Structure 1
Amino acid sequence: MSSSSSDDSQERFALGFLFALIILILSTVVGVVVYKRGITPAPVASSIAAPANMPAAVEIVTNVEDGPSVRVEDGIVKFYFASGQADIAAGANDALADVVAGVTAGKKAVISGFHDDTGGAAMNAELAKQRAFAVRDALMALGVTEAQIELNKPEQMQASGSNPEARRVEVMLSAD
């Protein structure tokens, strides 16, 4: 009887050891996955740089779905909007400073709105118009008169779905 009891004890020990080893391996794998996900920063639209082989005028835009943003690229101020919204991003006044200076020097601010092809065409054109008016109002709040602003008719982008590039308003200076 003692050898049977000893064999049962050894089997229990072996099974317990095997079970503990499996738990250790699983927890290590899960821990590594959680650790790697935890230290990888989420992409932020304002901190993403274009790859080195891209032209300087192109900027990668991501995570604009979360809210409005504004960027200045080669003298063009680009306002990006959340889907279905016409709220201007914080920092608009700083981004428009060069435009205001150009208007003061005798140039005209040209505002162009864009929209994608999702939803109704009339609704998209109206939303692009509201976005352009919001940017116009921001310029006027900085002292630019309505006579110094040219509003272009909204243009449809050849993009579908939730495309941040299609939900934008651009402001540039013209010689007029």
Structure 2
Amino acid sequence: MNQHSKHHSSGHLLARYNLWTWVVAFLLALILLWMLFTGRGPSTACCGALTETPTASAMSDDQAASTSDFSFSASNSGLTSSGDGKNIAWLSQADKLSNILNDENLLIQGNDKNVVLSGSVESEAIKQQIGNDAQAFFGSGVVVDNQLVVGAIDESTPADAPPATIKLYFDSGKTTLPSDASISLAAIIDWLKTHPESKAILSGYHDPKGDRALNEELAKERAESVEDVLEDAGIDDDRIDKRKPQSVDGGADLAEARRVEISIE
């Protein structure tokens, strides 16, 4: 009888324990639901933190876009610009550019991300020095495309001379124009508009390795991308001469095999 009583008592206690366990679990569930619907639970801090992230991201995008329409042109006689330049750090010291552009034939054009340095210099050393000075002035956040032409400067060259040959470098396997194409082509387009007797000569280059036919087709399509820009600017198709794609030398820089040269004839 005593053994039976013990088993009976233990079973009764276990049943009561299970009952209270379910009651406590039910109450906790109710409390959690109440916290969830009233916004008093830990989810508030979590969600609040999450909602702040896109706001910061949106601000960054706005700041990046605020200077995207900025462009400028500078020579030793001064600088002209358009667009919002309030976030351009170097703009307040633009007068120092005249020290870099110490010859009237030197020109820098670009935006807040990319600039093109053009003109003629007497030696490779001068070209490199001017390029280095320009990079130091603009800072590492700006890409300087040094397109200075090395050669003796002909003082007898008339003021109304066509712009120097422009080189546009494409990404590997791509025909999409580089981001600074419109800036680089501006002088070419202006000349063609004011000199209707002149023509634009487009020369595409390709890698000597691999399938020659495919490489030539890629060079041709890159030249056609440039042709589209000229035609969109109002230049007639019969004033644009696309030359046969050319292969670069085997030891040349690979970037040279992805270029299109634009010159005036």
Matched, 1:138 2:229: yes
1:54 corresponds to = 124
Q: Equivalents in 1 of 2:240, 2:203: separation in Å?
A: 11
1:103 to 159, 183, 192: 192
CA change 1:165–1:150 in 2 (3 A) is same
1:73-121 Cα distance to aligned partner (Å, 9 max, x none): 4411111011111110112122111111221212101000011112100
1:56 to partner: Cα distance? 6.5
Q: After the TM superposition, which residues 66-77 of structure 1 pair with which residues of structure 2 at under 5 Å, given as runs?
A: 72-74=147-149, 75-77=164-166
List structure 1 runs of 4+ shifted beyond 4 angstroms: 45-48, 55-59, 69-74
Contact 1:113 1:153 in 2 (8 A): yes
Letter in 1 for 2:223: A
Contact 2:116 2:184 in 1 (8 A): no
Q: After the TM superposition, which residues 56-95 of structure 1 pair with which residues of structure 2 at under 5 Å, given as runs?
A: 72-74=147-149, 75-95=164-184
2:211 corresponds to = 120
1:161 to partner: Cα distance? 8.6
Letter in 1 for 2:263: M
Stretches of structure 2 lacking an aligned partner (at least 5 in a row): 1-113, 132-143, 150-163
CA change 1:171–1:117 in 2 (3 A) is same
Q: Structure with the greater relative contact order (CA < 8 A, sep ≥ 6): 1 or 2?
A: 1
Letter in 1 for 2:178: A
Stretches of structure 1 lacking an aligned partner (at least 5 in a row): 1-44, 60-68
Which structure's CA Rg is the greater one?
Answer: 2
Query: What's the RMSD between the two structures over aligned residues?
Result: 3.4
Contact 1:116 1:160 in 2 (8 A): no
Contact 1:83 1:167 in 2 (8 A): yes
